[in-house]
A and B are shown apart, each in its own frame.
Chain A
Amino acid sequence: ELKVEQNPLFLSMQEGKNYTIYCNYSTTSDRLYWYRQDPGKSLESLFVLLSNGAVKQEGRLMASLDTKARLSTLHITAAVHDLSATYFCAEGGATNKLIFGTGTLLAVQP
């Protein structure tokens, strides 16, 4: 069964600190997506990673992809309260469906 695992599931961090969310996936997919979801809201696309070694950055978030290790990371630099949300990684499946991880609930404390 195709599986995407994220850790941690819950992350409480202080403003100004750095942390990394890990996403392990089970197939040889070369497409990895990161989405953000605020409570009761839809999913907002953050990053699309298409090749081994891909690194993308937007503001305080940076995502990377290692297809050999089947690992993607989302690094948060100097967290601010506005980053509080649930973050999902998703693997691009064979017929274009997305296989989502369980999500990481990020709570940034002042």
Chain B
Amino acid sequence: NAGVMQNPRHLVRRRGQEARLRCSPMKGHSHVYWYRQLPEEGLKFMVYLQKENIIDESGMPKERFSAEFPKEGPSILRIQQVVRGDSAAYFCASSPNPPRGGQPQHFGDGTRLSIL
């Protein structure tokens, strides 16, 4: 029973390059959330998606960041023209239905992004 799968676990990019982070939710889960964790800080919400729809992107920077969750395949968080400040751990979480039902979000192991 695979959990939330994220890849890669570690990603190194130079300033100006693009970073693509992938997330496959738990089987049967159709809600995906992306969070960013800076060193020594808590997680900050970025975006909430269902299949083919962005539900809430209020935590996503307006420029350079985008997210998608296509009908087939994993959810992708894309960062264009990366800068040093993008260095962080990016976590994906999934849930089977809106958490109002009391279900916790299940987290992947994260992608540690380092910008040189």
Question: What is A's interface to B at a CB cutoff of 8 Å?
Answer: 4, 31, 33, 35, 41-45, 48, 50, 88, 90, 92-93, 95-103
Contacts and interface: CB of A to CB of B under 8 A. Distances in A.
Which secondary structure characterizes the binding site on chain A?
A: strand
Interface in B84-116: 91, 93, 95, 98-100, 102-110
Interface of B: 31, 33, 35, 41-45, 48, 55-56, 58-59, 91, 93, 95, 98-100, 102-110
Contacts of A31: 99-100, 102
17 contacts: A31-B99, A31-B102, A35-B104, A41-B109, A42-B91, A42-B109, A44-B107, A48-B104, A92-B100, A95-B58, A96-B31, A96-B95, A96-B99, A97-B33, A100-B43, A100-B44, A101-B42
